[in-house]
Structure formats: structure tokens, C-alpha cells
Amino acid sequence: MQDSTLKLLPPDIDLETKRVLKQLARSHRALAELKGFADTMPNKNILLNAVTINEAKDSSEIENIITTHDELFKAMSQSNYNNPAAKEVVNYRMALWKGYEFVKAKRVMTINMIVEIQQDIEKNRAGIRKLPGTVLQNQTTGEVVYTPPSGEREILELMSNLEQYLNDDYDAVDPLVKLAVIHYQFESIHPFYDGNGRTGRIINVLYLVLKELLDSPILYLSKYIIRNKTAYYQLLQEVRTKEGWEAWVLFILDGIEQTAEETLLLVKRINAVVDKTAEDIKEALPRVYSKELVELLFYEFYTKTAYIETGLSVSRKTAAGYLAVLEDAGFLTSQKIGKERIYLNKRLFGVVQEAGS
């Protein structure tokens, strides 16, 4: 078992080695390309909602909360829908949104904000750990590999040091390298009884927004972590046991490059499906078509009569009429869930589902 002495930041080592600098250039290039394309998208909410639903699903999957897009769509559209896994995923996405709005407005990341994110994910008010007993185990063997700091005072001291590292650039280290340090440090402090992984993954993307490397929270390492789970746990551990910083930083930088490239493809696909659907509706249903209607249809991958009624300022009857016509023409498919009829945007759902499978 490792002892729990965790050092304060910054690490006392040159993180920007030759190999790191080489990979950094590639990661920054991929990230800048994604940011550039996303910035030109006319309606960013379309993109954001679609990308974050997949992130919520992937990040929760690391914690073995497995759900399907179909269940998610039901849980998102019905607040009383009873599927615990899908509900947890919806909570995750709400926590992510709240954190994003905070960082966008305040341009800082604080311990309180991090505590709130964890509370929103777990839906409990336990906050920072006060009781000892939390240990990290090897995922396969169950062997205890690390005991994180256990005193509340020590945890708070480490968190306040992390808060300073997040917000100040006193060490002039590249922000992507710092992101790797921040993720290691946060997971090693392990400030909460649970939800540390998911909270840490939200901190990652909010940090990119804080450092203005992205405008919107659209780059997520969760899928990369799922694909490289063994290496992820091993490299985290080796920072502690072997000062294995270089391999860890390279792992995160490589993840940023790969994920930025994949996300760019997804964003382009979403953009293309919005444009093509707009054209098709215009041609097939010119009397129903409006730019605003298409935007409403793509806001989430489902819609309801009430959203169209409010969004277009039309009567309920007119809104219901539009949706019925769109369903007849094959653009939407409806289901009665509870008392309400929910309309699924089949094309967007298809793109999101394919990217998230």
C-alpha cells in the first residue's frame, strides 16, 4: 500500500520534455482546428447538446452506469421517468452545464464550484470527505493501490493549492500539460467519498474553457479513457510510484489530439445533417419550413408540442399540426411517454447514437 503523502503543486520537475513539446504541438493543432470549426457553427446549442449527451453517457459508463440512447431520451423528456441509470446520466449532464455556465461567467474555478458539481452528480450533500476509510483499489485484483489523504484539513489544504494552480499561471507551463497535472492531483486528493472520477472529467473540460482553448465544452476524454482504461489507471499510479510524469502527460496529450480529431468529425456530421434536413424540409414541406423550426427540431434530439408552441409563438393546434406533418413526411417519429407525445428527430438521433456507440 502507498503512503498517502501527496505533494503540493507544482511538481518539482521539468514537465516540458522534448517528447512532450513535440506532442504538445500536435495536440494544440487538433484542438485549435476543433475550436475554429465549432466557432463557425451558427447554432452552438445544437452541437453542445448532442456532444454533451454522449459525454454524459460515456463518463457514467466508466462508473458502470450503463444506459442506452433510447432510455436517455425518455429520461430527458420526462422528469418522472423511472430509470436510475438514465437519470444519473441526465444529472451528470446538468452538472456539466452548471459548471460551464459558472466558468463562462466568473472566469475562475473554485473549490465551492467543484463541490457543487460533485453534489449535482451524486445528488447528495456529503461534500469533502471527513471520515477515513477511502482507498483506491486495482480494478481487476481488488488490491489496495493507494490510500488518499484522509484528514479534512489536509484535503482542504491540497484543494486550495489545486485551486491556485488552476487559476494562476505563475509557473508558465503549457495549459494542456497543466491539465494532465490537475487531473492527476485531483484524482489523488480524491476529495469526495464518490464521484471523483466524473467530477475530475468535468474539471478537465472546464479548464479548457477557462484557458480559452475552447469556447464551448465539447472535448471529452471519457471515451479515450474507456478505450485505454488499463493504461489510464496504471499511468496515474506510476506518477506516484515512479515519478512517471512524462508518460502520464503524453497519455493525456495524445488523448486530447485523438479526441479533438474525433469530435471534429462528429461536429461536421452534425452540421451536415442540420443543413441537409433544413433543405429537405424546405423542399418537401415549404409551408411548414422556417429556420427557427429547424433549430427547434435540433435543439435536443427530441421535441414536444409545447416547445414548438413557445419557440415559434404559435397556437398549440398549429404546433401539433407541424409536428404531425413532419412525422408523416418521415422527419420525426413519435412515442407516447407517460401522458405526453414525444417526437424524436431521427436523423440527429442516428448521428449521436452512432458516435456514442
Residues numbered 219-238 forming contacts with ligand ATP, rule: CB under 6 A:
233, 236-237
Q: Is the separation of the CB atoms in 268 and 315 below 8 Å?
A: no
Measured from the CB atom, the residue of 135 and 337 that comes closer to ligand ATP is: 135
Measured from the CB atom, the residue of 36 and 151 that comes closer to ligand ATP is: 151
Is residue 136 a contact point for ligand ATP (CB under 6 A)? yes
Cα–Cα distance for residue pair 110/102, rounded to 1 Å: 10
Measured from the CB atom, the residue of 204 and 277 that comes closer to ligand ATP is: 204
Measured from the CB atom, the residue of 40 and 140 that comes closer to ligand ATP is: 140
Site mask for ligand ATP (CB under 6 A), range 177-206, x = bound: ----------xx-----xxxxx-x------
Residue 301's φ and ψ, nearest 5 degrees, are -90, 10
Give the three-state DSSP class for 167: helix
Residues numbered 59-118 forming contacts with ligand ATP, rule: CB under 6 A:
62-63
Minimal distance, residue 308 CB to ligand ATP, in Å: 37
Longest dimension (CA), the chain: 70
Site mask for ligand ATP (CB under 6 A), range 236-275, x = bound: xx--------------------------------------
Three-state SS string across 194-257, please? CCHHHHHHHHHHHHHHHCCCCCCCCCCCHHHHHHCHHHHHHHHHHHHHHCCHHHHHHHHHHHHH
Cα–Cα distance for residue pair 294/298, rounded to 1 Å: 6
Q: Is the separation of the CB atoms in 30 and 183 below 8 Å?
A: no
Measured from the CB atom, the residue of 126 and 312 that comes closer to ligand ATP is: 126
**β-sheet bridge partners, residue 135:** none
Minimal distance, residue 60 CB to ligand ATP, in Å: 7
Residues that bind ligand ATP (CB under 6 A): 62-63, 136, 145-146, 187-188, 194-198, 200, 233, 236-237
